Structure formats: structure tokens, C-alpha cells
Amino acid sequence: METEMLINECSPTGFNIKESFKEYLIEQSQPLKTVMEVKGDNMHPTIISGSHVLAILVKKENWSDTESGVYAVIFKNQLLTRRFNLAIGRIKENSLLERNKIVLHSDNEKHKPLTILAEDIKGILRVDRIVSQDVF
């Protein structure tokens, strides 16, 4: 009973510890989510062109900690310095720390892996799930 009362009491600085901590946790646990349409067949048959996927932004400080999975990577186009590309692929091994690059693998055997240098990466989103996909 005393412990519960202490948690709910105001701190000496005047704010409610429990409420402030709850707000902080909610803020920190709500990553940016977006739905994007997949174009192209590099992830076929797992993700079909025209499908919509839910993707969650990976904070820049966590890029080197990304585990294997399907990701969307926004990166600078080497040929056109003012353009950005977005590629969806499977990261099998994160080599940002060791080799300063990420390799996106395609689920479609006819596509080669895509290597993206760390300095060209502008954003990484983890593809969480397929939201809609045509049924054939």
C-alpha cells in the first residue's frame, strides 16, 4: 500500500512521476508507421507488385542493430545526386558496422542483391506486414 502511494505521489519538483513516465513510454514506443505500395517483382513471390505493406521507421541510431528481415531503404542515387530511391529487400546480415554497407537480397531469383553504402542511406523502414495483396 505504501509503495503504491509513493508511485502516485508528486515528486519534489512538482510533477506526477507515474503520469510523466507513462507519457514518456507512450511517446518512445510509438514509432513512425506508414503504408506503402510495392512496385516491381524483386520480392515476388513473398510480396507481389501492387501489394501494400505496413512499414515502421527505424531510428538512425538503431540502423546498425537491424536484424534480418524485410526492409525498405531510402538511399541517394549515385548517378543523379538530387534523387532518392526506395528499395525493398531482405537483409540477411547487417554489415553496416563491419563493412559500412547494407546488402538487400531479393526473394525473386532473377534479381541480384543490391548493395547500398552507409553514407548513401537516408532512411530505413522495417516491413512489418502485408496490408493488402491481390489473390490470384
> Mean pLDDT over residues 77-98, rounded?
80
Strand partners, 81: none
**CB contact at 8 A, 128 and 67:** no
pLDDT at 97: 82
Higher-confidence position of 13 and 135:
135
> Mean pLDDT over residues 61-70, rounded?
90
Q: What's the pLDDT band for 85 if we cut at 50, 70, 90?
A: confident
**pLDDT tens for each residue of 12-56:** 444 444 454 455 455 555 678 889 999 999 999 999 999 999 999
CA dihedral of residues 65, 90, 125, 102 (deg, nearest 10): 50
d(CA 5, CA 39): 55
For 22-26, 56-60, 132-136, which range has the lowest pLDDT when averaged over its residues? 22-26
- pTM score of the predicted model: 0.72
Return phi, psi of residue 126, to 5°. Answer: -85, 125
